[in-house]
Amino acid sequence: MFKITPVASKVTFYVKASVKLEGTFGKWDATLVFRSRNASTGVLNIKIQAASVHTGSTYKDDQLKGEHCFDVTHYPYATFHSTKITQTSPNTFDVSGTFTLRGISKPAALTFTVNRDSGGATGRIKGVLSIDRRDFGLGGGVRFVTIADRVDITIDFRATRVGPPLSLSTSSGGQNARGL
């Protein structure tokens, strides 16, 4: 079993735009349970509090939280729930699942890499989930700003082994989550 270290982990996003449009989500929960020898029985669930978005600009944050984008009043969470994990190399895994944003659920895929530190007791899990913002009713942006359709959501988790099987579960608030 592994435990994610919230202070050394993050969930971020990036969108190609005519202005810098990237940021982090300050509040999230994640559960990752799998054995690398039998990854197909694994589970990856991520629950992001949309209102915790931070871009470094209050104006951008307010726009992202608003009804034309995340609409956090009506849809406080974005989630990813895996349906299948497939090991593609000794350190990489493809995860099929469902991504939900603004009450709209679509099939999605995430690829992550496990990089173990020497000794194997600690390591990083990094992955990217790419979505088309139009599939989720996300607005095109602000007047005079061009925003691409593709949005990359990146997970970067620091984990420490606390016992077998490989199981990661945590919250960005520092509390363990048993499930989402």
Task: Summarize pLDDT for 42-96 with one digit per residue, the tens.
Answer: 788 999 999 999 999 998 899 899 998 999 999 999 999 999 998 898 889 999 9
**Predicted local distance difference test score (pLDDT) of residue 179:** 32
- Four-residue CA torsion sign, 55, 60, 62, 67: negative
Specify the pTM: 0.84
The string of pLDDT tens digits covering residues 105-160 is 999 999 999 888 877 778 899 999 999 999 999 876 566 678 889 999 999 999 87
Confidence at residue 39, expressed as pLDDT on a 0 to 100 scale: 66
pLDDT tier, 172 (very low <50, low <70, confident <90, very high otherwise): low
CA 82, 149, 19, 142 torsion-angle sign: negative
* Residue 145 structure tokens: 């700003």
- Any idea which residue has 């603004």 for tokens? 102
Question: Looking at residue 140, what is its pLDDT?
Answer: 66
**93-103: per-residue pLDDT in tens?**
999 999 999 99
